[in-house]
Amino acid sequence: MIWLTLRQFRLQGAVVFAGLAVLGAALLITGPGLADEYAAGTASCATDNACEEFARQFVIKHQALYGALLAIVVGLPGLVGVFWGAPLIAREIEAGTHRLAWNQSVTRTRWLAVKVGLVGLASMAAAGIAVFAVDRWSDPLAAAAAPRSSRIMPLLFDAHGIAPVGYAAFAFALGVTVGVLVRRTLPAMAITLAVFAAVQVAVPLWVRPHLIPPERGAVAITSGNLDSLMLHNDSLTVRTQAGAGTWTLENHTVDASGRKVEKLPASIGAGPCAPPGPRPGSDAPPGPAQECFDAFAQQGYKQYVVYHPADRFWPLQWAETGLFAVLTLGLTGFCFYWTRRRIS
């Protein structure tokens, strides 16, 4: 049974693992050069401003390639579910070859266990290889972008750590389950893709923020934490930074009683926070004067923020991977029940 499963799977497996081998070789060749370029740039910059500018340009220079690598890691679990999971059982049932296996003294449980076990492990291994290779290659880019973004933010979170392995296991189990229920290969593939895409959108929006209770609180608006201050018709909209590399869930101004304020009054926008003139010799205007922040404090305005700090990356990774592991086990158990009880 193991030999037969490997023989049936050899083409799909060879294509994916050959592609991963090519990807790994390319990253292994280019990775040291990327690390050397970042090390040389940070060592040669003379001031903090120069180092910040180098880091910004370094990220911009390589962001297209990095974006393509992220797309590969994020898309791989879905492809595994569609092309490995959905046809695995649906194709056998559609062709009727499952009956031949069952009539050769192979039990339904063993037949399904071998297929799901071998190909499922291959799915997780493929995702693990991809994320490990991209993680190692992108370390210099992560360091350069650290003050402005971090891997805890949604798109980057989905392509780093151990979560992609959980996504691959879930996508594969989802594909197998849909195939068992639908019993036709092409509809099973389409349904698997649609459901997995919906899950990947829903989890970062509504589930991940609450896997661990986020930090929250009202903070004073200062020049040190100000992110943006937008003036429109003499009214202000403020946004602050919760900290370097944080994932901000809510960010709004509150008054002295703690009520949400959509826009600050015109008296502040036209008064102490009015835009000053540009600096001599510079096209960029300076930041707000200290009188602006004093006015916020005197009138009791603060910024209410809800966020996950950057150091929650691994706790959230483990929590979300555990969630997908539970879903995977549930789907797998359902497949065994349905195959043993409902498929003839």
| Domains contained in the chain, number | 2
CA separation for the pair 281, 299 (Å, rounded): 35
Whether 154 and 226 share a structural domain: no
Residue 283 included in any domain: no
Whether 159 and 219 share a structural domain: no
Radius of gyration from C-alpha coordinates of the chain: 26
Longest distance between any two alpha carbons in the chain, whole Å:
87
* Helices 48-80, 2-44: inter-axial angle, 10-degree rounding: 170
Tell me what pLDDT residue 244 has.
82
For residues 222 and 293, is the Cβ–Cβ distance under 8 A?
A: yes
Residue 299 sits at φ, ψ, to 5 deg, of: -95, 5
Residue 150 included in any domain: yes
Q: Could you list the residue range(s) of the whole structural domain that residue 258 is in?
A: 215-275+288-311
Residue 280 included in any domain: no
Tell me what pLDDT residue 7 has.
86
pTM of the model: 0.92
DSSP 290-344: HHHHHHHHHTT-EEEEEEE-GGGHHHHHHHHHHHHHHHHHHHHHHHHHHHHHT--
Residue 11 included in any domain: yes
Whether 173 and 186 share a structural domain: yes
Residue 330 included in any domain: yes
Whether 182 and 304 share a structural domain: no
CA separation for the pair 291, 222 (Å, rounded): 11
Mean pLDDT for each consecutive 10-residue tract of the chain (344 residues)?
A: 84 95 97 96 90 94 96 97 96 84 79 94 98 96 86 94 98 97 96 98 96 95 88 79 89 93 80 67 63 91 95 97 98 94 76
CA separation for the pair 129, 71 (Å, rounded): 15
Place of tokens 């490990």: 132
DSSP 158-210: TTSTTHHHHHHHHHHHHHHHHHHHH--HHHHHHHHHHHHHHHHHHIIIIIGGG
Whether 324 and 253 share a structural domain: no
Residue 281 included in any domain: no
Whether 262 and 337 share a structural domain: no
Structure tokens at 22: 């090519």
DSSP for residue 285:
P
Residue 53 included in any domain: yes
Whether 255 and 188 share a structural domain: no
Whether 144 and 175 share a structural domain: yes
Tell me what pLDDT residue 252 has.
93
Structure tokens at 245: 């590399």
Whether 295 and 332 share a structural domain: no
Tell me what pLDDT residue 282 has.
47
Tell me what pLDDT residue 15 has.
95
CA separation for the pair 26, 289 (Å, rounded): 50
CA separation for the pair 168, 172 (Å, rounded): 6
CA separation for the pair 237, 231 (Å, rounded): 7
Whether 66 and 81 share a structural domain: yes
CA separation for the pair 151, 158 (Å, rounded): 9
Residue 23 included in any domain: yes
Tell me what pLDDT residue 266 has.
74
Tell me what pLDDT residue 102 has.
72
Whether 205 and 225 share a structural domain: no
Residue 305 sits at φ, ψ, to 5 deg, of: -125, 140
Whether 25 and 134 share a structural domain: yes
